[in-house]
Amino acid sequence: MGITYYEKERLFKLDTLASTYMCAVVDEENFLGHVYFGPRLEDHDAVYLTRTGEAPFVPSSNNRERLAFYDTFPMELPTHGLGDNRDDALAVRSALGHTAVKLGVVSHEIYKGKKGLKGLPATFGKEDECTTLEITMTDETLKMDVILSYTVFEKVDAITRSLKVINNSSDDIVLTRVMSACLDMDNEDFDLLTLHGSWARERHINRRPLTRGFQGLSSIKGECSHQEHPFMAIMEKGADEDRGEVFGMSFVYSGNFLASCYVNQFDSVRALMGINPEDFNWLLESGEEFIAPEVIMVHSSEGLGGMSRSFHDLIRNNLIRSPYKDRKRPILINNWEATYFDFDTDKLLGIVDQASKLGIEMLVMDDGWFGHRDFDDSSLGDWYVYEDKIKGGLKYLVDEVNKRGMKFGIWFEPEMISPDSDLYRAHPDWAIQIPGRVPGQARAQYVLDLTRPEVVDNVYGQVKAILESANIEYVKWDMNRPLSDMGSASLPPERMGEMFHRYMLGVYELQERLITDFPNLLLENCSGGGGRFDPGMLYYSPQIWCSDDTDAIERLLIQEGTALIYPLSSMGAHVSDCPNHAVGRVTPFKTRGYVALAGTFGYELDVTKIPEEDRNMIPDQVKMYHAYNDLVRMGDYYRVASYSQNNEYDCYMVVSKDRSEALVTFVQVLNRVNFHSRKIRLKGLDPAKKYFVTYVDDNKETSGKKGGERVYSGEMLMKAGLLIPRPWGDFQGMLISLKAQ
């Protein structure tokens, strides 16, 4: 049983295999206090940790110091306006204009399995996979209930949390702040680790000491964004990849978010995560309920690596739903970097003729096939085929691709509308805008008002018609600008503050309809590269395009940050041409292949134009993909060395769950003279197993011999290390395979 209620102590104990989370009902006023989150405990006698035995005591016995209580007590769901001056999780505007909320626990329920969150992405699990606790709290003055739900995924060491607010009064209430998770802890000299970036430089790891006062990150762009990421990890100062305590929080949501830490006068940390309260007001009419998206919480005693592996397992097993989640994805070739907008049927078929011979399995026709789109300044919203380019029509093209033995995929940007489009000419008010102001364009486009059901219906109808018109097996769903000028022609003024969240609900509905009607479709999300790579989108698509930066060296850092949370199976990664279109760097074709193998794998180049030497390497890369993708997709990820820290080389590995097989990727970014081989301590192997070590590329067995007498034990490889010969030149990669005897 992952969740136990101890009647005497009024304490809830949530256990995973390696961690424990506890909260308790305290005082006659039934406050819900946070007790503990950390390594697994067998004992539960822990209410003393809430410090209710110390001054200023609890309110029912000492109302004189009620405010001091509010400002120190570790609250499970801190509320606004009563004296807790740390940031809070819940605030309202009542019918009388008041903002305070006070919650007391009234009941709870524990059950096997997990319920879904209506209209929202969320983790799921069968009855033998997870247990749920629902704690109902009430504000007697507002007549408002809150149901706080926790689900324990015991085997993967993850706990999720979300909440529902129900207005039981006869008056309307406006929710002004609903944060999904709160973690009150003593600051044990913690560091805060977050992911930051920009377009083409997404999710770089950023670590800093947690300091007094407020610190955090947020997005107000209507997507999680390239710049910030809905994730944070609070870590022991000495914690590293393998050791030390880490508390990871990840938000299953794709819109505006806030993730913050506040360190107060008593050196306590309050970590909060939820929908960004900026530009958020939700009118909750009498009898209505509001569901806040969930947060995944992971405690690891094995540093960041342990945290990553928990997130990977949970996301793979209990968040991604696509039938592709357990399948090898077709190796695709995407024409974006190959042609940009300059393509037609013949050019695409030329690429397919070559690609099919090399073992590539799917053509993805990117931006530019619809309306009259020859550049980025028209036709979004007009999802009908541009016959001048796609001569003979879409069905003809798809059939021809199929005839050549390849599948066909297509690009859409369904959330957008170009000012130069038939859709805009017919429905200018469907673009998000504020009357009387000139709405800002980005990439010459506006955003469709997906808070309106008729807009959702229209755009979905167009996408559906295209998908039904030919044998299309993959969709790349793009989103190339943030939201601004928030105004909807259909929302009344009192609901305008709901627009950002309603927009996200519209996006989720669109994608839900798509995967329901086309259950075998492989959906890949994308947003100007990796601007919307988040757990929310993974509920709909098993993979997301990681970044528009396809340079192998830049990708090392982008993929490292992404793999901190997300399984390699979800990272869209392709081999592209050089000089790279984002940085102009020239890297060996082989290295580009190794780095892309850590993701979904594919090509983003004109295979008819690349040097013959590179083209000739493709069949071997294809072979490697088929040989190692099962391992990469399903194995445990270990980071061995980070180029971001050592400025010289990068190394990571994937180990099969039964530890019989592993794949090490090593990339020497900058070479140095006069150094001998590099010793690398491997991770995650079975110390008792013996492994053959093979350099995959030339299939040379270097350190051991198959069937021979000399192989290395897992113990030796992990404690003493593997000697990696120094490659000649910069940007050189190596792939090393380990197979247990």
Amino acid letter, 557: L
411 binds ligand GLA (CB under 6 A): yes
Give dist(CA 256, CA 221) in Å, integer.
6
Tell which one of 529, 536, 542, 733 touches ligand GLA (CB under 6 A).
529
Question: Among 548, 549, 560, 661, which residue interacts with ligand GLA (rule: CB under 6 A)?
Answer: 548
User: From its phi and psi, is residue 390 left (phi > 0), alpha (psi between -120 and 50) or beta?
Assistant: beta
> Which residues make Cβ contacts (< 8 Å) with residue 515, sequence separation at least 6?
321, 322, 521, 523, 540
Radius of gyration of the chain (CA): 27
Q: Which residues of 500-523 are buried (b: 16+ CB within 10 A; e: fewer)?
A: bbbbbbbbbbbbebbbeebeebbb
Nearer CB in complex with ligand GLA: 295/416: 416
Choose the binding region for ligand GLA from 241-249, 524-532, 652-660, 698-706 (rule: CB under 6 A).
524-532
Q: Which residues contact 323 (CB under 8 A, 6 or more apart)?
A: 519, 520
Residue 264 vs 525, nearer CB to ligand GLA: 525
DSSP 535-586: HHHHTT-SEEE--S---HHHHHHHHHHHHTTS-GGGEE--EE-SS-TTT---
Residues 312-341 that bind ligand GLA (CB under 6 A): 336
Q: How far is the CB of 411 from ligand GLA (least distance, A)?
A: 6
Token reading at 593: 């292949």
Q: Which of 157, 228, 366, 534 binds ligand GLA (CB under 6 A)?
A: 366
Residue type, 737: S
- Asked if residue 479 lies in contact with residue 531, where contact means CB atoms within 8 angstroms, the answer is yes
By beta-carbon proximity to ligand GLA, the closer residue of 5 and 341 is 341
Sequence-ordered list of residues with C-beta below 8 angstroms from that of 454, at least 6 positions apart, any chain: none
Separation CA 250–CA 161 (nearest Å): 10
Smallest gap, in angstroms, from Cβ of residue 343 to ligand GLA? 12
Q: Supply the minimum distance, in Å, between the C-beta of residue 526 and ligand GLA.
A: 5
650 is a site residue for ligand GLA (CB under 6 A) = no
Query: Is position 577 an interface residue for ligand GLA (rule: CB under 6 A)?
Result: no
Least distance to ligand GLA, CB of residue 476, Å: 6
Under rule CB under 6 A, which residues in 121-140 are in contact with ligand GLA? none
Give the closest residue to 539 by CA, choosing from 573, 514, 564, 556.
514
Q: Rounded to 10 degrees, what is the CA torsion of 313, 314, 320, 321?
A: 100
Question: Nearest residue by C-beta to ligand GLA?
Answer: 367
**Residues contacting 714, CB < 8 A, separation 6+:** 659, 682, 685, 686, 687, 688, 689, 690, 691
Work out whether 526 is an interface residue with ligand GLA (CB under 6 A). Answer: yes
Q: Is 478 a catalytic residue?
A: yes
Q: Is 367 a residue that touches ligand GLA (CB under 6 A)?
A: yes
Binding to ligand GLA, residues 474-493 (CB under 6 A):
478, 480
Q: What is the β-pairing status of strands 661-668 and 732-740?
A: antiparallel
Residue 526 or 663 with smaller CB distance to ligand GLA: 526
Question: By C-beta, is 602 or 733 nearer to ligand GLA?
Answer: 602
In degrees and rounded to multiples of 5, residue 688 shows phi and psi of -85, -10
Q: Among 248-256, 522-530, 581-589, 691-699, which window interacts with ligand GLA (CB under 6 A)?
A: 522-530
Q: Quick one: 525 or 668, whose CB is closer to ligand GLA?
A: 525
Cβ atoms of residues 215 and 209 within 8 Å: no
Q: Whose CA is closest to 694, among 654, 729, 734?
A: 734
Residue 545 sits in the site that holds ligand GLA (CB under 6 A): yes
Taking CB under 6 A as the binding criterion, the range among 68-76, 427-435, 526-534, 649-657 that sits at the site for ligand GLA is 526-534
| C-alpha distance from residue 17 to each of 40, 131, 301 (Å) | 7, 13, 12
Q: How far is the CB of 199 from ligand GLA (least distance, A)?
A: 8
Measured from the CB atom, the residue of 21 and 336 that comes closer to ligand GLA is: 336
Active-site entry in 366, 548, 606, 614: 548
Q: What is the closest distance, in whole angstroms, from the C-beta atom of residue 576 to ligand GLA in the complex? A: 10
| Site stretch for ligand GLA (CB under 6 A), options 384-392, 415-423, 521-529, 590-598 | 521-529
Nearer CB in complex with ligand GLA: 230/530: 530
Is 548 catalytic? The answer is: yes
Residues recognised as catalytic = 478, 548
Chain residues in the site for ligand GLA (CB under 6 A): 336, 366-367, 411, 478, 480, 526, 528-529, 545, 548
